[in-house]
Amino acid sequence: MAITFTLNGAEKTVDVDPAMPLLWVVRDVEGLTGSKFGCGIAQCGACTMHIDGAAQRTCVLPISAVAGKSVTTIEGLGQGDALHRVQQAWIEEDVPQCGYCQSGMIMAAAALVDASDGVPSDEDIAEKMDNICRCGTYTRVRAAIKRAAQA
């Protein structure tokens, strides 16, 4: 079934099983591998993308659910070579270690920062940033979010 959606600003039409999760369409069909597979049950957040601006876990989200919607992945978060302020803060705080969860972590953080009026509180960050990181970058994630919100 042909499904049309917007991926990082460009219109895409894919002919796949409508049940195929967005994550796998983006990775294996569209060839954008920045978004990661970690659990397949929307627990870890490595697959987080923005759907019409809101952070969403895409490993269980059928492609049919994004027909007509706008999808942004880590590859499309910045404007050209200019990084999103969250990505910039990530670099300044030296957040990533192995880096595998970081695309999803950054997408969740960017949605939080973009939606926040001012600097998110520790409580906001704790609630919204539920992504799993096995390298334990959490304290730096918190610092980078605050830094980005002040940028």
Partner 1 sequence: MTDHANTPDTTVTRRGLLAGAGALVIGFSLPLSGRRGALAAADDGPVWKTSDEAAQINAWLRIGPDGSVTVVTGRSEMGQGPTTALPQALAEELGVPMDRVTFAMSPVDPAYNNTLFGAMITGGSTSVKSDFEQMRRAGASAREMLKAAAAEKWGVDAAELKVENGTISHAHHSATFGELAGAAAEMEAPKDVALKKPADWTLIGTDVKRLDTHAKATGQATFGIDVVVPDMLHAAILQAPTFGATLESVDAKPATDMKGVAQVVELDDAIMVLADTWWTADQALSKLSPKWTGGAEDLDDAKVDRVLTEGLDAAEAAQAVSEGDADGALSGAAKTVEATYSAPYLAHLTMEPMTATADVRADKAELWLPTQAQTWTAGAVAKAVGLKPEQVTIHTTFLGGGFGRRAEQDFALQAAQASKAAGRPVKLVWSRPQDVRHDFYRPASKVRFTVGLDEDGLPMAWKARVCCPSIAQRMLPSMIKEGVDPFAVEGLTERAYALPADRSITYVMPELAVPVGFWRSVGHSQNGFFMEAMIDELADAAGMDPLEYRRKLLPQDSRHRRVLDAAADAIGWSEAPAEGRHRGIAVHESFGSIAAEAIEVSVDGDNKVTLHRASACVDCAVAVNPNIIRQQMESALVYGLTAAMFGGVSLKNGQVQEGNFDRIDVMRLRHMPPVEVRIIAEGDAEMGGIGEPGTPPAAPALVAALRRATGKPIRSLPLTAEGFTFG
Residues that bind partner 1 (CB under 8 A): 17, 20-21, 24, 27-29, 31-41, 43-44, 46, 73-75, 77-78, 83, 87, 90-91, 94-103, 106, 125-127, 129-142
Q: How far is CA 107 from CA 14, 18, 34, 73, in A?
A: 23, 24, 11, 8
What radius of gyration, in Å, describes the C-alpha atoms of the chain?
A: 15
Q: Give least dist CB 48 to partner 1, A.
A: 11
Given the complex with partner 1, which of 37 and 67 has the nearer CB atom?
37
Q: How far is the CB of 12 from partner 1 (least distance, A)?
A: 13
SS3 42: coil
Least distance from C-beta 11 to partner 1, angstroms? 19
Contact 98, 130 (CB under 8 A): no
